Amino acid sequence: MMVTSTVSRRLHIEQVGLVSNIILLGLAIVDVLLNSGKYGRGFIEEFRIIRTTLILIIPINLFIGGAEFAKSTFFLTTSLMLISIYLKSQKNEIKLKIKNVILTFFLLNCILSIGEKIFQFNLFPYSYYNNNIEETLAMEGGFRSSAFLGHPLTNAVCISIIMAFIIISNYKILHKTALISLGFISLLCFNAKAAILIWAVLILFLIYYLLFKSKEKLSLFFYFCLGTALIITLILVTKQGFGDRLTQSSLFDGSAQTRIDVFDAFDYITSYDLWIGNPQSYLYITNKLDAGGVENSFIVLILEYGIPISLLLIFMYTLWIRKLLRGIRFNVQMLLLVSFIGLGSANNSLSTSTPWIFFILCYNAFLPDLQKFIEVKKYSMYKKAPAVQIV
């Protein structure tokens, strides 16, 4: 999780992807090949995505954009599904260890982001180009931490995913309060406006739920800790400049305008690129829009893959996520979807593999007892677990 491209550049390593992806992928391929018999009907959605990618999409990618484009597709589809299959089949004690690793990363990433904000210095700065470590992302209206994952928006989405799973975990309510408070302060450091607004609403809803709807008896010490956390957050926002991109500008500023202008991308592409796709069009469209990037995951998919394959990918991933969330209460499903898909839709995060890896890791680490491997009831390998609740 921490040996990313931005970290490696600080260590004078020119090229490295997310190492955890490579390691997990290698383990998954070996396990699936050697133990294919244990993967049956319970993984229909995953194997459908793998087959479609390998038989249809990647050959088209090779023809249109070459090996580099095909590799990107492989890591966004086949790699993720193999990792998902592999992690689902692990024992619960292994998943518990994964949860501890995720929590350790969460704490370190949050602490690093806060430290960067305090000292106004990016230890592992993000840049559009790998050649120069000092060429950082142009920041709009305030300092933005880069932590381990580099891009502030990538950090925000991944931290948001972990926060959602912490809420539905079996941690004590005081521990949840402390971790969510730390995570929200970290979002302020990343200065990701959509993430801040989404989590401000979610936290207010959770506070209302705890105070007026929950059957759990809350201690005076909890109220003291909750009040302290809210006061500290308000002081950081109003006095210390945390989240200043939100507080010092209007909601509809240049960043928001960029999300609207991104639809002008279709004015600059040909009908062929629109229906067939062209991976080279991303930088071209970025320059035409005079923006830092194409800030919409679905438009990025269309630019790279064309409309038919983009719709196919979205459809298959929808079926896969729907199966994953089966058996979970509706309000918890909404929490997970809003914190990941909702936030990721506000930028281009969903068109990259990193947030998906974090979602897969968190799903398997924090929800190991949910009913798994279900296609038809008689093929279920686990008894149905009690529905997961927020508290």
Least Cα distance to 363 among 325, 315, 316 occurs for 325
- pLDDT tens-place string over residues 208-256: 888 887 777 788 888 898 899 999 999 988 888 888 777 766 555 555 6
pLDDT band of 73, cuts 50, 70, 90: very high
Q: Which of 149-153, 219-223, 302-306, 385-389 has the weakest average pLDDT?
A: 385-389
Q: Which of 41-45, 283-287, 376-380 has the weakest average pLDDT?
A: 376-380
Mean pLDDT estimate for the chain: 82
CB 222 within 8 A of CB 173: yes
More confident site: 169 or 383? 169
pLDDT in the model for residue 111: 96
pLDDT in the model for residue 86: 87
pLDDT band of 180, cuts 50, 70, 90: very high
- pLDDT tens-place string over residues 123-179: 888 864 344 334 444 445 578 999 999 889 999 999 999 999 999 888 888 999 999
- pLDDT tens-place string over residues 249-301: 655 555 566 667 777 778 888 888 889 988 888 888 888 777 767 778 898 99
Q: 256 — alpha (psi -120 to 50), left (phi > 0) or beta?
A: alpha
More confident site: 346 or 360? 360
CB 202 within 8 A of CB 161: no
Q: Which of 16-30, 68-82, 194-208 has the weakest average pLDDT?
A: 16-30
pLDDT in the model for residue 115: 95
More confident site: 20 or 58? 58
Radius of gyration, alpha carbons of the chain: 21
Least Cα distance to 365 among 183, 27, 94, 179 occurs for 94
Question: Which two tokens mark 328?
Answer: 């979970």
Q: 150 — alpha (psi -120 to 50), left (phi > 0) or beta?
A: left
pLDDT in the model for residue 376: 28
CA distance 196 to 187: 6
More confident site: 18 or 299? 299
Q: How many CB atoms neighbour CB 323 within 10 A?
A: 18
